[in-house]
Structures are given as structure tokens and as C-alpha cells.
Amino acid sequence: MKHVRKPRSSLLLVAAIACTSMIAGCGGSHPPAASEAALTRVVSSQWRQFAPRLPGGLSIAVITPEGEYFASTLNGATADSHFRGASTTKTFTAAAIMLLQQRGQLDIDHVLSANMPGTARPYLPATPGYAIPYKNQITIQQLLRQRGGVFDVGNKNVPATASAPYAGLRYVDWVEDTQGDMHTYTLDELVGVVASNQLVGGLPGEAFRYSNTGYSLLAKIVEQVSGKTFAQFVHDELLVPNGLSETSFPDDGQTQHLPAPFLEGTTRVGGTLYPTTHRNVSWGVGEGNVVTTPSDLARWFRRLLKGEAGLNAQTIARMRECETTNEIHVSYGLGLACDPAELGTGHNGGITGYLTTARHDTVSDVTVVVFATLLDADDLMTEGEMLYETARQGRTALGY
């Protein structure tokens, strides 16, 4: 998770179970109404403890072998209410790359300057706009693992020494201040900031360094290999086959409103509350622009990690090969986080207005999505831990 200083469009965070003797059996021991009542008690208690006087609320969606359950502290919220899933987008991007890998259309061990298998076409355009540092050393797999060393345009200020009008500033914030918030960002534009200024986040493979721009590059590779826009490829190959009809990836600056029904988002920064529901997220293609629902997101993680989303068991096993990060993400694989271990594998997401965690545990076959409609930049670590604890208690309430 990253520190949030202002409620800007660009800000992303980065983000074997045994039954006890008190429960008669492992799950399925309560009728649906009783199960959802138990979940409601969990989210209500957790939200009261965390934000008793703040706006927003807490919701949980759980899928077990016995059924699907949803509870929320928000009046009118349902499993079909839309919200912003932020960096859970990265799991779709990773799945798109690995689907192309599975089909033999790319090789994640190739460097970014290489050609696609059996072609004379490079993974990335051979143009000055894509001449990023270490392009001939960074592999696709390193981008997936956040170990490519690509400068993170989304989360870092451009160095003050750069010869650019946005030197010393966050690029997206500078654009918003100078051109307004309707600007449509492109992958070429964002990567071009790195290339034109020769910005470096670190050496390839040296260490885990979370980079949204690394995932922008992956989205571009999906486009180059497939011949479709990123949003169209994900729609055709991942959303439609998996019945995720309420999930989308807005990629133009004018698509700022969430589809109905939606849950309002609020951000707290420096003690001040800001309404941050409707935003331009065209800067987040491939890394943070997903709009979804609790039901869709839970089903996505469940199908993906059970090998039912179009990726075979061998591919999913490779994605789940996590490595220690020595930082807040703890353990990370190919677009998937493997912590906290007792909840399973998944990803977190944070954006102005919303904070999310999603996990699927293959041992218990339980999927949990927990999200808040308040991004509390003043106490972000506590809020993140609260989401994990809500997930733990939600599982326990259902007998897992």
C-alpha cells in the first residue's frame, strides 16, 4: 500500500483451516439467513471499531462450497452494487498475459525488446517512446512479479532534475492541474514519461519494487500480441467466458461515473473528507481502473484460482509461485499476492474512495472479498489490517 497525500485521480495503493470444536461441521451448518446475519454482525462490529464517526461503510462477499453470502453496513448495498476495485485490476492483466503464454503467443521469460514467438514483431514498439531504461534486460515475468525496476509514474514524483514541465511533480497530478480532469491518458503517454526522461526505479531483478507503470507495459504487450485494446481483450477472453457482466475497465477520461447501482466513495486526507466516487481512471489501464461488484469480483478470484477462468492448473500453479518481497506486500507471485497466508491467494486494491482485499483459499475452497467505501489516508495501515480481520472473522462466522 502506498501513502496518499491528496485525493487525486492518480492515487493508487498499493494493498489448512480446521473446524473448531464450537462449530458443528465445516461450513454449511447455518441456513443462508443466519449466515448473512452472522456476517452482518461481523462487518458492523469491525466498522464501529474502526470508523464510528466517519462516512462510508464496510461490505463482505463470501463464496463457500455451500453458497454465496453478502453483508454490508451500508443501506441499500447488495452483491450487485458497483465500486472501484483498484489494483485487483492487476490480476486480470496477469491472467491476460498468462492466457497468451498458455496459447504460445508469448513467452514470459523473453525480454521486452524481443520479438513475439514466430514473428518479426516486437512485444513493445521499437520507437523512442518505448525506449525505457534496461528494456533489453527486463523480462515479462519480472514485470508480473514487480521486479522489473520500472519507474512507477503512478506513485512517484518525477525527479526534480528532469528536463520536463512536470519535474518534481506527480505526472498525472500535473496533467489534471494544467489540462483538467477529462484528459484521456494513454499507455503510450505514460510509458513515454519514463522513456523521454530515462527514469529508473531499480535494476531488473534486483528487488521487489511495486510499479503501476510495469503493469501499463504488460497491458501494452497484451495489445501488441492480441491486436485488440486491453479492455476489449479482457472483455472477450476473461469477462464474457466467466459471466462477469458487471465488470468493466474504463479507458477514456470522460467515463467517470460508476454504473448504477453504485456505492459512494469518500477519501480522508489530513482530517478533511472528500467525495471521490466519480473519477477519471484512464491513467490506470492494466493496473488500477477496474469497476466491478462484490459478486463479480468474488466469482473472478474463485474461478481464476480454481483453474476455471480459462487458465489451466499448470498456469495457475506458476502464477501462485510467490517470492518474499521484504516489504509490505510480504509475498508476491505473477500478479497475485500470497499473504496473509491463512486467507489464501489474491490481491489488494486502493484508490480514492475505496479499499479492497480479495482472497481465495484452495484448502477450504472459500473466497472472500472485503471492501470499504472510505479510503482513510490518515490511518491506512490500520484500515488495511481491519479488512484482513473482517475477512478472518467472516470465514469463522460461516464455520471456516
Q: Give the pLDDT of the chain (400 residues) as one tens digit per residue.
A: 333 434 554 444 433 222 222 222 334 445 678 899 999 999 999 999 999 999 999 999 999 999 999 999 999 999 999 999 999 999 999 999 999 999 999 999 999 999 999 999 999 999 999 999 999 999 999 999 999 999 999 999 999 999 999 999 999 999 999 999 999 999 999 999 999 999 999 999 999 999 999 999 999 999 999 999 999 999 999 999 999 999 999 999 999 999 999 999 999 999 999 999 999 999 999 999 999 999 999 999 999 999 999 999 999 999 999 999 998 889 999 999 998 889 999 999 999 999 999 999 999 999 999 999 999 999 999 999 999 999 999 999 999 9
Per-residue HEC secondary structure of the chain comes to CCCCCCCCCCCECCCCCCCCCCCCCCCCCCCHHHHHHHHHHHHHHHHHHHCCCCCCCEEEEEEECCEEEEEECCCCCCCCCEEEEECCHHHHHHHHHHHHHHCCCCCCCCECCCECCCCCCECCCCCHHHCCCCCCCCEHHHHHCCCCCECCCCCCCCCCCCCCCCCCCCHHHHHHHHHCCCCCCCHHHHHHHHHHHCCECCCCCCCCCCCHHHHHHHHHHHHHHHCCCHHHHHHHHHHCCCCCCCCECCCCCCCCCCCCCECCCEEEECCEEEECCCCCCHHHCCCCCEEECHHHHHHHHHHHHCCCCCCCHHHHHHHCCCEECCCCCCEECCCCECCCHHHCEEEEEEECCEEEEEEEECCCCEEEEEEECEEEHHHHHHHHHHHHHHHHHHHHHCCC
pTM exceeds 0.85, yes or no: yes
Query: pLDDT at position 19, please?
Result: 25
Query: pLDDT at position 377, please?
Result: 96
